[in-house]
Structure 1
Amino acid sequence: MTEARILVGVIGRPHGVRGLVRIASYTASPRALADYGPLADEAGTPIRLTWRGTGIAALALWREGAWVETRDRDEAARLTNRRLYLGRGALPPAGEDEFYLADLIGLDAVLPDGEAGLVAAVHDYGAGASLEIARRGRAPLLVPFTRAAVPEIDIAARRLVVVPPREHEVLP
């Protein structure tokens, strides 16, 4: 079984003409991305980054047994929107009462009516995370990841309690 990969950042648009790129980091400390060692893209290609400024990095990709740096804007542009992953084992252990969002995937989700589901995905489109709960024979349930909607999380027991907010229909 392969180690789980955690999405830790995304390569953004080029910065300048010398192959630098903007980096969107999903880590608590964005600069820590360079400290983890090589990252990998969706295809598993190792990528090394070196910070050159706030949110700006130089990249090198592992190709044919050697690190090859991006040298110009065109090379950098081809990497735009490439996702950066790290093996779960390379991340520091979560602290007491802490967890990584990726740890929630696969947890049993218990609803107030007793119905159970499974956390299928964690989505974050910028306005806050939400959990996608897969339910047998029913449409998936999308729940905001807030203390009110998810009041109890027990990583060790592999379960969480979900209290979906009341639904409202907004008419134009």
Structure 2
Amino acid sequence: MAQTRILLGVIGRPHGVRGLVRVVSYADDPASLVAYGPLSDDKGRRLRLAWRGDGIAAVTLLSDAGPVAVADRDAAAALVNTRLYVERDRLPPPDEDEYYVTDLIGLAAEDEAGRPLGRIRAVHDYGAGVSLEIAADGAPPLLVPFTRAAVPSVDLAAGHVRVHPPRVLAATEDAPTDAATVSLAEDAA
């Protein structure tokens, strides 16, 4: 079942003493956080951002009683680590071969022969490229680069991805426990 809200950013530390905050945007275009209209947080509160500089925003909390601007550093500090969501139906559909992260989490991962490898537990992007973390019961997690070579097929409707697992380095059994030696593991096929 598709999530109804998509995480688009997180409020960071305060900037100055007048209620401004740093905002980390997960959108391709940070301006879209304003363009999509009111955002919501994990508690269901509605917020509106107004950019004041590169990654710096003013926040207004929206409620039935009316809007309340975050006007001082203490109020801004109370918002640190607030996740910012937008309703999925306000977002454009992803382009071909693009996916919302939330759509990948939980998909079954299978090797090219259809054998189960586990489920996608997380999607990581540390700057050098996106990786899928695949977890199976009782096995250490497998990190796979999210490239066409390593993940040749994604089928959201069927609920799975096909993965060409990378060759794995395994510690040699006869090596001392503090040794850094590794050997190339044999293929499972």
Normalised-by-shorter TM-score class: 0.7 to 0.9
Letter in 1 for 2:67: W
Which protein has the larger Cα radius of gyration, Structure 1 or Structure 2? 2
Equivalent position SS for 2:32? helix
1:127 is displaced (CA, Å) by: 4.5
Q: Which residue of 1 aligns with 2:16?
A: 16
Letter in 2 for 1:105: I
CA distance in 2, matches of 1:6, 1:92: 12
CA distance in 1, matches of 2:2, 2:82: 21
Q: Which residue of 1 aligns with 2:96?
A: 96
Equivalent position SS for 1:118? strand
Deviations 1:46-105 (A, max 9, x none): 111011111111001124532211101111111112111112222111223432222222
1:134 is displaced (CA, Å) by: 3.6
TM-score normalised by L of structure 2: 0.77
1:140 is displaced (CA, Å) by: 4.0
Q: Which residue of 2 aligns with 1:32?
A: 32
Q: Which residue of 2 aligns with 1:144?
A: 145
TM-score normalised by L of structure 1: 0.84
CA distance in 2, matches of 1:5, 1:122: 17
Letter in 2 for 1:7: L
Deviations 1:15-69 (A, max 9, x none): 1111011111000101111011111111111111011111111001124532211
Contact 2:114-2:162 within 8 A present in 1 as well: no
RMSD of the TM alignment (CA)? 2.6
1:11 is displaced (CA, Å) by: 0.6
Deviates more, 1:136-145 or 1:65-74: 136-145
- Whether 2:61 is the aligned partner of 1:61: answer yes
CA distance in 2, matches of 1:61, 1:127: 36
CA distance in 1, matches of 2:29, 2:148: 24
1:125 is displaced (CA, Å) by: 4.5
Letter in 1 for 2:115: E
CA distance in 2, matches of 1:58, 1:25: 14
Letter in 2 for 1:123: H
The alignment covers a number of residue pairs equal to: 172
1:165 is displaced (CA, Å) by: 1.7
Q: Which runs of 5+ in 2 are unaligned?
A: 172-179, 182-189
Equivalent position SS for 1:30? coil
1:128 is displaced (CA, Å) by: 3.5
Deviations 1:120-158 (A, max 9, x none): 332334553322324356444332323332122233443
Q: Which runs of 5+ in 1 are unaligned?
A: none
Letter in 1 for 2:154: I
CA distance in 1, matches of 2:144, 2:53: 37
